[in-house]
Chains A and B, each alone.
Chain A
Amino acid sequence: RKEVEQDPGPFNVPEGATVAFNCTYSNSASQSFFWYRQDCRKEPKLLMSVYSSGNEDGRFTAQLNRASQYISLLIRDSKLSDSATYLCVVNYANDYKLSFGAGTTVTVRA
Chain B
Amino acid sequence: GAGVSQSPRYKVAKRGQDVALRCDPISGHVSLFWYQQALGQGPEFLTYFQNEAQLDKSGLPSDRFFAERPEGSVSTLKIQRTQQEDSAVYLCASSIIGAGLRGEQYFGPGTRLTVT
Contact = CB atoms under 8 A, between A and B. Distances in A.
Interface of A: 4, 8, 31-32, 34, 36, 42-46, 49, 87, 89, 91, 94-103
A97 B42 contact: no
B45 A97 contact: yes
How many residues of B sit at the interface, in one of the four size bands? 20 to 34
Contacts of A36: 103
B104 to A, nearest CB: 6
A100 B42 contact: yes
Nearest to B92: A43
Nearest to B97: A95
B43 interface: yes
B18 interface: no
Given A42-B109, A49-B102, A96-B100, 20 more contacts: A8-B40, A31-B101, A32-B102, A32-B103, A34-B103, A43-B4, A43-B107, A43-B109, A44-B43, A87-B43, A95-B98, A96-B95, A97-B48, A97-B56, A98-B100, A98-B103, A100-B42, A102-B41, A102-B42, A103-B41
